[in-house]
Amino acid sequence: MNLLTDKVIVLSGVGPGLGRSLGAEAAAMGADLVLASRTPKRLEAMAEEVRAHGRRALVVPTDITDEAACEALVEAALAEFGKVDCLIHNAFAIPPMDPLTTLPLDSLRTAMETNAWAPLRLSRLFADALAATQGSILMINSAVLRQSQPEFGGYKLTKGTLVHLASALATELGARGIRVNSVAPSWIYEDVNKAYFDWMASERGLTHDDIYREIADKTDLKRLATPEEVARAALFLASDLASAVSGVTLDVSCGEFHSY
């Protein structure tokens, strides 16, 4: 699938699971990558995977909550590739899993810095480059938007802010030819959640497969998405096949949630 041949994608948030899959799948589709996160070792590992697909990778260790670091990221990307076609916001922080009325506000401020203000900062700084290529911005959100458990309150607050930010930016930047979309995955069957399933199983005297089936049974497809599947759905929105798609939030939940 050469959907992204010779496109330059800036990926903010390069970690295990979905972050790694976004980078690998983008490279497999023909894109060159600018890789940004705080951990150089993780960035270098991702860069090696991108290069294994025959694509170029630029590693830029970046604290996305720091304005000067983000300005340096833009300068490095343009100096290396001369253009940017897509900016993907995958970095996120989860506040404590407690009801909103019990959370220290500082913990919410910290999560909001990464989940909302950093995407706004990078979108603003990359806007000129994206306008030049008629490019796009992709926000990786979460199906927590569709849920109402008390323990998800803080996370839902930050991700709710992000989805409204994406909508506002789609309108504001659309006049410059920049598309802005969101992806909202539900449970992703990757290492972190696999370990969480093991923990839940041990706490309840069940097996890993019992927990998987319990969660998967809530979906239409009776299974959970892999990180590769979520990445491919997201990257469709970065491709020219989605050239008339802007302002949408795409659920990737194996049918757990239906959006209209």
CA distance 198 to 195: 5
What's the CA gap between 223 and 253, in Å, rounded?
9
Q: How confident is the model at residue 144 (pLDDT cuts 50, 70, 90)?
A: very high
The structure's pTM equals 0.94
Contact 89, 62 (CB under 8 A): no
Phi then psi dihedrals of residue 184, to 5 deg: -120, 90
Note whether 99 and 151 are within 8 A (CB).
yes
List, for residues 46-82, the tens digit of each pLDDT value: 999 999 999 999 999 999 999 999 999 999 999 999 9
Smallest Cα–Cα separation from 157: which of 208, 99, 215, 212?
Answer: 99
Average pLDDT of the chain to the nearest whole number:
95
Query: What DSSP letter does each residue of 164-233 carry, written as one string?
Result: HHHHHHHHHHHTTT-EEEEEEE--B-SHHHHHHHHHHHHHHT--HHHHHHHHHTTSSSSS-B-HHHHHHH
With both helix axes pointing from N to C terminus, report the angle between 153-174 and 105-112 in degrees, rounded to the nearest 10. Answer: 40
Residues 80/68/24/199 CA torsion (nearest 10 deg): 170
Average pLDDT of span 174-197: 96
- Contact yes or no for 126/118 (Cβ under 8 A): no
H or E element that contains 9: strand 8-12
pLDDT attached to residue 150: 87
Question: In this predicted structure, what is the pLDDT of residue 149?
Answer: 86
Average pLDDT over residues 236-249: 97
